[in-house]
Amino acid sequence: MQVGSIVRASRNENLKGRAMVATVEDDTVTLLWEDSAGPSPIQGQFMVAPMMVREERGREDDDAEVTMLQADVTELLEFETSPSRNGAPAATWKDRGDHLLRLGDPAAAIPFYEMALRSTNSSLQVGCTVLVQNKGQVLLAEVDCLDATTADLTLVDSGAELVVQQSQVLLSLSTLHSELQLRVLLNLARSLMQWADYDASRPYRASAVLSTSMAYAITTSDEDFVSFQPTCLMLRSKANASQGRYEASMADVETLNDRQARQWKAELLVLMRRRELTDKKLVKGMCQWIGRATNSSGNDEVPVKRTLESTAVSVSTAERKGCNHSAPMPQLHHGFSLNMISTCCAMLILIAAFLYQAHSSGR
């Protein structure tokens, strides 16, 4: 083991990562994490995983050196350092990603799964089947016509016609490798979720939702793939739940009835109830604060409370349904002063912002 070499070491009980050897002393080594800024492509750009902006940095605690026993550090696998690795077939890329995922190194696995997808993503041709995102859903479509930069598509499920930029096509399905593409997308989602538990600075969980949605769409293309649907839905449900999107999470598993699904649905109900109680505590606390701040005459606390609770519930409901517009403001009590109205409005805006941020961050 030499200074400057790249090795693999444990970040925590469940996760490993690549690091550069800074110093070697007796039976210990000092390491600097190499992948602290997140996984980077082997070739081109990622198709599903979020791309790191060059100016972005990794986690602040990764800037510090870490010292551990040499016995706890391992060399990289041969295929990770081979200069001829770019010519591998798609199945080999997947096998390499699987190996790294089993080792507990999802950040290293992600680029290999992406290369597997890239290897099976054939060029667009009239008559081929593709995956495209339309109105927030990943759908199967057939290519009817190709222009210089656009593609005329027909959605398989509805027969609707759609014109998109060719760059908007997520993946071209391969007649020879469609099952491989499906399996790669599922394992890519697993890798993204595991890495997201360590690094929340980029939207890895949102990419996991996209990956599982793409996998599920593939299962609708062939009856032989229907058996994969429960796995797709369970993974997507957990990816949505990790972002606080509990209603979308429940929608994915409400039709599943195996033991794992029933257990997960029970956990989801607990999470949803906990969020509801947290929202109520927030509203109650803000009501009390505004009541104390504005109740100079002792008669205005009740209308303030009713107004605030009504608006907070409307804002929370709108956010959960995906609304982008503001909830309508309930009619205020006729005894409010202008200062009181201004105070209430300001606090309502703060509550709405807090609820949106809390739900979006997967609290």
Per-residue pLDDT tens digits for 312-353: 555 455 545 544 443 444 444 444 455 555 556 656 666 665
**Strand ranges across the sheet with 129-134:** 161-165, 150-155, 137-146, 129-134, 169-172
> CB of 6 within 8 A of CB of 18?
yes
- Nearest 5°: the CA angle 249, 253, 256 is 175
What's this model's pTM, rounded to 2 decimal places? 0.78
pLDDT along the chain (363 residues), means of 10: 91 91 92 82 93 59 78 92 77 96 96 95 92 93 95 95 94 93 98 94 95 97 95 97 95 93 95 86 74 60 53 52 43 48 61 58 45
Instruction: Give residue-wise pLDDT tens across range 198-235.
Output: 998 899 999 999 999 999 999 999 999 999 999 999 99
- Distances from the Cα of 356 to the Cαs of 273, 317, 349, 350, in angstroms? 17, 11, 11, 10
Query: d(Cα 131, Cα 143) in Å, to the nearest integer?
Result: 10
85 to 35, 81, 97, 120: CA distances (angstroms)? 20, 8, 13, 16
